[in-house]
Amino acid sequence: MAGGSQQKFASFRLTWSEINGALGDLGVLLPLAAALITVNGLSATSVFFGVGVAYVVTGLFYRLPLPVQPLKAVAAIAIARGLGAGAVMAAGWWMGLLLLVLAFTGLHVYIGRLFTRPVIRGIQVGVGLLLVRSGLALVSRPQIVMGGPDAVLRVAECTIPLGWLLAGVVGLILAWAAWRRHRWPGAVFAILLGLVAVAASGSLGRLIGDLHAGISLPKPVLPRLSDLGSALVLLVLPQIPLTLGNAVFATVDTAKQYFGDGAARVTPRNLLRTMGGFQLLAAFVGGVPVCHGCGGLTAHYKFGARSGLAPILLGSACLGLALFVDGNVLPILALIPYPVLGGMLAFVGIQHGMLARDVRSWREWGIVATIAAVGYATQNLALGFGLGILLEQVWRGLALRPTNS
């Protein structure tokens, strides 16, 4: 553990570790935000306003580096189907109300009994594998700069994609920083390397030229009845089990592993309350529904964050993007190349999978492997831990069955 039993909350001190840790989860946040803005038509101002407020409130309340991420199932399905902004916002209304009902009725207590240690470890390993897959997918994109040309390095008869070369250097930087226990900010150096790559590609001047300073405020939006119906079936039902497993129970477990008694506020009820409130805020201003998550917590922690200052810093940056660039944040997002984000994401995935180190028995490993393998193969963690829970109940029933003497 991270010494959480020595003090209830870590103090807010501006250090390179906190700045570095604040950048740890960008590999999840930025690609999903960019896709939802460009493919689904969400307002960039609304997206980053909702995320920014949620991050700042999270840091102030939990005083730990808990993440704020777009709902992954909602985002993935909406992007794949090309759903409009109305359906995404309607999903936020549904999710916010459902999470608050679970929190205030106490139903989460009964649901939590299904999420035993091996089930949670399976979710954590599955999340880790999916993070690695997503990171490698980002590295594989032919354009290292969003909207830029293909970038390759020709050496003799060989053609080497610059994306893989850049991601390899990023991996070495992050591994060295981790070995040095983040005494220097690996994520900061990785992003600086990305800026150098953008400049070398000749895209820096164009991207800077596309920036426009100006005040842009989010506008209230109400959902249409037709959007509410389609959002419930297509987006909300696949998201609910993933949110409960990954963003609630696995996040509680991960926070306890990292911070011990310092994670006293990270309870299922509190997570449901804050996520429910954030969902309703995002839906009201036309933003993206968000949640917490165990993978994002590992990202912030492994890059050096130890207090709520890291989410406050990142939230403040998101609010700046929302309010002061005239609603046009895409050129800024393009300043961080996909291979840099992909390298960071894959690194976090490996670190997150290592949370299963305390699994010992072959039965527990069977449950962990089932959840992780099915979740990875189908890219649906809800299906994975559903089968894992079923497998555990079967084994428990066999263990309790009386034997004939």
Whether 6 has a pLDDT exceeding 60, the answer reads: no
pLDDT of residue 49: 96
List pLDDT tens digits, range 274-316. 999 999 999 999 999 999 999 999 999 999 999 999 999 999 9
Task: Give the span between the Cα atoms of 171 and 179, in whole angstroms.
Answer: 12
What one-character DSSP code corresponds to residue 63? -
Whether 257 has a pLDDT exceeding 90, the answer reads: yes
pLDDT of residue 97: 96
What one-character DSSP code corresponds to residue 246? I
pLDDT of residue 169: 92
What one-character DSSP code corresponds to residue 359? -
Whether 124 contacts 356, CB under 8 Å: yes
**Residue 400: band (very low, low, confident or very high) from pLDDT cuts 50, 70, 90:** low
Higher pLDDT, 193 or 143: 193
Q: Is 136 exposed, middle or buried (0-12, 13-18, 19+ CB in 10 A)?
A: middle
φ and ψ at 367, to 5 degrees? -70, -45
Q: How many residues are there in the chain?
A: 405
**Residue 403: band (very low, low, confident or very high) from pLDDT cuts 50, 70, 90:** low
Task: Give the span between the Cα atoms of 379 and 3, in whole angstroms.
Answer: 35
In this structure, the dihedral spanned by the alpha carbons of residues 229, 43, 193 and 20, taken in order and rounded to 10 degrees, is: -70
Residue 168: Cβ within 10 Å count: 13
> Residue 290: which H helix or E strand, with range?
strand 290-291
pLDDT of residue 263: 95
List pLDDT tens digits, range 31-90. 888 888 988 899 999 999 999 999 999 999 999 999 999 988 888 888 868 889 999 999
Task: Give the span between the Cα atoms of 198 and 36, in whole angstroms.
Answer: 23
Nearest to 213 by CA among 323, 104, 100, 293: 323
Whether 360 has a pLDDT exceeding 60, the answer reads: yes
pLDDT of residue 3: 45
Task: Give the span between the Cα atoms of 326 and 323, in whole angstroms.
Answer: 7
Task: Give the span between the Cα atoms of 69 and 61, in whole angstroms.
Answer: 17
φ and ψ at 175, to 5 degrees? -65, -40
